[in-house]
């Protein structure tokens, strides 16, 4: 019998190999499934959701800003925007024709949008309800009409350095819009919509989370006083052609800011013309040597320290005085030297006549340490805490650098120290209100409105610094008395108010140019408050600073005082403050005409 007829025996190796192959294939499948479902699962699910689920952020209405009387200064105006998702469009020709007709956009421009690869392309914004409704009625696949909010300033370009502006991404770019971004912005909502393979929405498979509007803010600003201040300041700019100007009006008893203006200025509604110089808020950032407006503050400090009295006669050296310390000496010259100078003046008279030598002698009595302490306590060299961005601290030398022949003689005259207009205004408010340094307040109220119920919920307003008594009531009254003399028979005489007593101080300083005081570059300033009688507390204080005027005078009495006079006269009458002295009938007639003209504006 041949070998070929013998049946083959079992071959276990083939069975094992086959089983091994199937086990390997199974393991490969399992590994692939693990990779797809476990390792790549979240990513693939996310990609699937992106294809099936579309999400849109629902913009939140930005909170409104109001003045102290409730006049809207910044509001959110709800409009519509049109977006294109080219990947989901099924009739681009029809979309091009219809949208070109409704939006006024050239067809070629629309074609470029529709041929682009990315979705979410904004075609137009700021549409009203009528146009938005017509586009919705077309039911164009891949075309969406969404609600958006535009920032509108009902009073136009008024108070730009207070309000600021909003950028294209709806975030604050300056002023209060920037400082209170988190408060005003609100919380966006979210709309989720499922679509089928062709991009058509599945009506029953969607979810919406409503947007929460931003909080509203009420300011201490008075829109009418703000407008008057800007108008008067611009008139001064046109007359004197300065480099910069700043002005502020406050209530000295509360620290409330009623108006704040800076020049150069800008219109936040047209940011294409913005430049850094116009965006600078000079009330907070312009640093200057204050000159004679510092004198009443230092005199009050010397009296408070018991180093002099208001009636003490001090010899003023006939306008020129040399003080020696060891081998060093320094000569102080007063403006009165041209006319023979002053001899004995009381401290009250020294303030009224703005005598440099009297102030230098008071600085010597205070000494470097106490004078530095007072300057710091009056708020110089530090921020006031106003709720606006970019405030400067000014310049106050380190305490170790204060000495007899330097700071003690210079600072009482308003030199060797640089301040901001707001710092100086708040320091003088401490005299006007009876001796208390108040923090400036710009924001009066913050509140949230529930979009569903309309109920208001009060939010916490910005915290303010603590008021601090700097002078006794009696000393503050005596400083005011001296400053009242400035208005009746001093450098502020031409800025006296009709029907109201007032206290003021002019300041004129030479600017430092290339390290030396210039005879042709000056800074003029004027601070004044009213009423200023012993029986009444002042209602308003105004300070104006004119930097480097080039025409029609440079003294503070020529450049800044007329602005203060006009603004305070208007503001006191606008607020219906009762006059405290007899009015000029001629001025009443002029005031009535102006009031009638304002009513027509």
**Predicted model pTM:** 0.84
| Residue 421 in domain | yes
| Residue 25 in domain | no
| Residue 26 in domain | no
3-state class (DSSP) for residue 306: coil
Residue 65: which of 76, 53, 57 has the closest Cα? 76
User: Could you read off the pLDDT of 30-83 as tens digits, one per residue?
Assistant: 777 777 677 666 776 666 555 666 676 778 899 999 999 999 999 998 889 899
Other CB atoms closer than 10 Å to residue 274's CB: what's the count?
16
Mean pLDDT of 270-296: 94
Mean pLDDT of 472-498: 91
| Residue 240 in domain | yes
Lowest mean pLDDT among 63-77, 105-119, 186-200, 506-520: 186-200
Predicted confidence at residue 515, as pLDDT, reads 86
Q: How would you class 79 by CB atoms within 10 Å of its CB: exposed for 0-12, middle for 13-18, buried for 19 or more?
A: middle
Predicted confidence at residue 199, as pLDDT, reads 54
CA angle 143, 148, 150 (to 5 degrees): 135
Number of folded domains that form the chain: 1
How far are the Cα atoms of 71, 159, 169, 178, 219 from residue 268, in angstroms, in the given order?
A: 19, 10, 15, 13, 19
Q: What is the largest CA-CA distance in the chain?
A: 157
Confidence of residue 511 (pLDDT cuts 50, 70, 90): very high
| Residue 257 in domain | yes
**C-alpha span between 517 and 512 (Å, rounded):** 4
Cβ neighbors of 415 (< 8 A, separation 6 or more) are 289, 291, 509
Predicted confidence at residue 201, as pLDDT, reads 57
Predicted confidence at residue 590, as pLDDT, reads 42
| Residue 428 in domain | yes
Predicted confidence at residue 594, as pLDDT, reads 38
User: Can you read off the two tokens belonging to residue 161?
Assistant: 């350095």
pLDDT at 601 over 60: no
Peptide linkage before 465 cis (omega within 30 of 0):
no
Domain hosting 345: range is: 223-600
| Residue 391 in domain | yes
β-sheet bridge partners, residue 248: 260, 543
**β pairing state of 143-152 and 72-84:** antiparallel
Lowest mean pLDDT among 116-130, 204-218, 428-442: 204-218
**C-alpha span between 526 and 547 (Å, rounded):** 12
Mean pLDDT of 191-202: 62
| Residue 333 in domain | yes
Mean pLDDT of 370-378: 97
**Who has greater pLDDT, 37 or 250?**
250
User: Could you read off the pLDDT of 540-575 as tens digits, one per residue?
Assistant: 999 999 999 999 999 999 999 999 999 999 999 999
Mean pLDDT of 408-416: 96
Domain CATH for 299: 3.40.710.10
Share of the chain above pLDDT 70, in %: 90
């Amino acid at each position: 019998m041949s070998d070929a007829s013998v049946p083959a025996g079992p071959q276990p190796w083939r069975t094992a190999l086959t089983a091994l192959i199937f086990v390997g294939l199974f393991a490969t499948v399992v590994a692939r499934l693990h990779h797809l479902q476990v390792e790549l699962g979240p990513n693939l699910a996310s990609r699937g959701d992106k294809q099936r689920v579309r999400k849109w952020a629902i913009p939140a209405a930005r909170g409104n800003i109001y003045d102290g009387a409730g006049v809207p200064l910044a509001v959110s105006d709800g409009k519509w925007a049109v977006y294109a998702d080219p990947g989901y469009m099924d009739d681009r020709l029809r979309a091009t024709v219809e949208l070109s007709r409704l939006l006024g956009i050239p067809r070629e421009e629309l074609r470029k949008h529709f041929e682009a690869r990315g979705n979410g392309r904004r075609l137009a914004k700021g549409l009203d309800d009528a146009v938005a409704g017509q586009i919705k009625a077309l039911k164009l696949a891949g075309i969406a009409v969404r609600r958006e909010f535009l920032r509108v300033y009902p009073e136009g370009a008024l108070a730009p350095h207070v309000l600021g502006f909003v950028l294209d991404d709806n975030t604050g770019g300056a002023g209060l819009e920037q400082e209170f971004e988190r408060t005003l912005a609100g919380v966006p909502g979210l709309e989720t919509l499922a679509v089928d393979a062709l991009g058509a929405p599945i009506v029953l498979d969607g979810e919406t989370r409503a947007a929460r509007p931003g909080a509203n803010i009420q300011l201490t600003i008075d829109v009418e006083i703000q407008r008057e201040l800007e108008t008067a300041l611009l008139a001064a700019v046109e007359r004197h052609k300065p480099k910069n100007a700043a002005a502020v009006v406050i209530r000295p008893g509360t620290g409330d800011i009623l108006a704040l203006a800076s020049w150069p200025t800008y219109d936040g509604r047209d940011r294409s013309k913005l430049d850094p110089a116009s965006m600078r808020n000079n009330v907070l950032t312009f640093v200057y040597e204050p000159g004679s407006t510092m004198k009443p503050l230092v005199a009050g400090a010397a009296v408070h320290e018991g180093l002099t009295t208001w009636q003490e006669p001090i010899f003023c050296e006939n306008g020129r005085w040399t003080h020696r310390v060891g081998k060093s000496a320094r000569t102080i010259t007063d403006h009165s030297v041209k006319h023979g100078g002053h001899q004995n003046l009381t401290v009250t008279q020294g303030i009224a006549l703005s005598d440099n030598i009297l102030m230098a002698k008071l600085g010597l009595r205070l000494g470097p340490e106490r004078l530095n302490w007072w300057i710091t306590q009056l708020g110089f060299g530090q921020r006031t805490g106003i709720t606006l961005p970019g405030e400067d601290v000014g310049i106050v030398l380190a305490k170790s650098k204060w000495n007899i022949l330097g700071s003690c003689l210079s600072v009482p005259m308003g030199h060797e120290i640089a301040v901001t207009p707001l710092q100086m205004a708040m320091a003088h408010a401490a005299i006007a209100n009876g001796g208390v340094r108040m923090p400036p307040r710009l924001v009066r109220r913050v509140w949230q409105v529930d979009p569903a119920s309309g109920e208001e919920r009060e939010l916490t307003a910005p915290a303010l610094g603590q008021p601090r008594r700097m002078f006794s009531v009696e000393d503050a009254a005596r400083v005011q008395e001296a400053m009242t003399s400035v208005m009746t028979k001093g450098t502020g005489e031409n800025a006296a108010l009709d029907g109201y007593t007032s206290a003021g101080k002019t300041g004129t300083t030479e600017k430092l140019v290339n390290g030396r005081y210039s005879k042709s570059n000056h800074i003029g300033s004027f601070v004044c408050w009213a009423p200023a009688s012993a029986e009444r507390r002042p209602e308003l204080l105004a300070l104006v600073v004119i930097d480097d005027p080039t025409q029609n005078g440079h003294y503070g009495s020529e450049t800044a005082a007329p602005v203060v006079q006009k603004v305070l006269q208007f503001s006191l009458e606008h607020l219906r403050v009762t006059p405290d002295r007899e009015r000029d009938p001629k001025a009443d007639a002029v005031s009535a005409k102006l009031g009638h003209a304002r009513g027509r504006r």
